[in-house]
Structure formats: C-alpha cells, structure tokens
Homo-oligomer: A and B are copies of this chain.
C-alpha cells in the first residue's frame, strides 16, 4: 500500500552521505576554532527571537555569526541581522530540515577562523531535523511554555538527540499555566541528565546563565561546568 521500505532504504543512504559531510564540517569547525550551536524546535517556539537576543548579547565580546534555515522566506535573516552579526539564509524549498551539505555550501565563502561562535537555526520542525548531523558541537532544542509540557514525550527523538533544552517565553508562563515541574520531569524522562535553561528573550530572564554555559563549553569544559 505504501513504498515505505524503499523510502527507508533511500533515507539511510542520504543519512550516510550526510554523516560524511557532517564529519568534514566538524573537523573544519574545530580547526578554525569556532564553536557551533544548532537550534531546533517546533515552528513558533521563539527560535529567531531567542537567537537574535543571543547574538546581540554576545556581539560586544565575541565574533558571532548565524545561518538560518527556512522553507520559503528570508524574514529570519532580516530579523537576525538587527543584531549586527553576519547572517546567511538557507532556503530549503519543501524540505523539512537542514542537511550538512547545505551548511557546507552556505559557508563556502566564510573564513571560519574569524569566528568564535556560529549558530545554525534549523527549519521549525520537531521530527525531520533529528536525524541530520550538521557538524555542530551542541544541539539545542527549544520548547515554549505555550506548547504544552508533553512535547518531549510526543517527540522523543528530537529531545533525545539534543544536548541541552531551553524553555522559552517564560514571561508567558503564568498566563499559559505552564507546569514547570512536569516539563522538567518529561525532559528528564526522554533525556536523563539533560541541562535545561529557562529564559525569556523578551525580558532577558535566564539569558545570562545560558550564555555562561555556552562560554564554558566553548572554553573546553565538556559538561559546561566551570573550568
């Protein structure tokens, strides 16, 4: 009734090719000394607002840049450019995720040795991006307080494949009747020990703890603990 087995086989080949490119990217990032963070989340979780705030706060002290994936528009690149950091849009058409080859192509003309942090914002999707390594050092999954505390259980693969979680829109926490304990419980259920940050890009709440974590990770502490 469906050609599922054949699709799975083709997907495996694509994933294998993606892994080869991702490995090459990771080596290039390490040689250049740039620390790379990818962001995944559902559409509307506040990825772009959060990233704009991140870039703006890091910009005075670090050399930062961003790649941003979207199906159809370059709205995100325009918004992120307000941070004054270099930004490049990757338009994926109908594809629901970024692939390592797209990142490689987008970076062709960039001198990565001139960067301290590179952020890669994936297409808004809690399913497709989970299997595609982009050569990043840290994969960050965002969850907004308005989405419901059950999302880690419902999309376990993406939460499990992420290194850290950021709960966004904390300023709406009371209005959305967000249950912080339940969200923590569900995150730990799919990814035990996962580091979780709670932020509001609007008010700035929680941003400094998260940025300090990134700085520590960049400085070489594998678990983000002070070195």
Q: Give the interface of A toward B (CB within 8 A).
A: 1-4, 6-7, 10-11, 13-14, 17-18, 21, 42-45, 70-73, 75, 94, 96, 99, 101, 104, 123-128, 144, 146-148, 150-151, 153-157, 169, 172, 175-176
Contacts and interface: CB of A to CB of B under 8 A. Distances in A.
A127 B71 contact: yes
A11 B7 contact: yes
A30 to B, nearest CB: 21
Q: Give the interface SS of chain A, mostly helix, strand, loop or mixed.
A: loop
A94 to B, nearest CB: 6
**Tally of this chain's copies:** 2
A18 to B, nearest CB: 7
Nearest to A123: B127
Contacts of A101: 1-2
A218 B150 CA distance: 33
Contact of A128 (B13, B96, B99): B96
A172 B156 contact: no
B96 A127 contact: yes
B2 A43 contact: no
B2 A99 contact: yes
B157 A70 contact: no
A1 B101 CA distance: 6
Contacts of A44: 42, 44-45, 144, 146-148, 151
Contact of A172 (B2, B18, B150, B172): B172
Contacts of A2: 14, 17-18, 99, 101
A144 B169 CA distance: 14
A44 to B, nearest CB: 3
Contacts of A169: 146
A157 to B, nearest CB: 6
A73 B153 contact: yes
Contacts of A147: 43-44
A8 to B, nearest CB: 9
